[in-house]
Amino acid sequence: MTSRLNPYWDDEELDLSQGDGFALHAGIVLKSVLADRDIKPAVLARHLGVPHSGFYNMLNGKRAITAPLASKIEDAIGYPAETLMTMMARHDLAVARADKANHVEAMEIA
């Protein structure tokens, strides 16, 4: 089933090996990184000093990752903040481009 908030992947069958043609939410990728490293999200959220509910929303692609949070994650587990922020920016741009309300006609430039 495709998420209404995240139309670029199937929430049920996420394949992180496929990156062409869509942009993954940084939280979805981070969720996989945490699982690979056997890091419990609740433990990391507590260590970072952030609310569990907001952290889980971010990991599930329902909330954006911020620069301060990305920096804390980098400090805590060594995953590059730049990578998280780049993924988040690409995802946000892909969502904006997919929304027809964000489009205008091209200007004529003399």
- How many beta carbons lie within 10 A of that of residue 25, not counting itself? 28
Burial class (CB in 10 A: 0-12, 13-18, 19+), 66: middle
Question: Distance (Å, rounded) from C-alpha 45 to C-alpha 53?
Answer: 9
Question: Which CATH number does the domain 26-97 belong to among 1.10.260.40, 3.40.50.300, 3.90.1150.10, 3.40.50.1820?
Answer: 1.10.260.40
For the record, the structure tokens of 33 come out as: 């990184």
**pLDDT for 25-35, tens place per residue?**
999 999 999 99
What pLDDT score was predicted for residue 78?
Answer: 97
**pLDDT for 73-110, tens place per residue?**
999 999 999 999 999 999 998 888 888 888 888 899 98
Task: Please report, in angstroms and rounded to a whole number, the separation of the first and last CA atoms in the chain.
Answer: 46
For the record, the structure tokens of 98 come out as: 């997919």
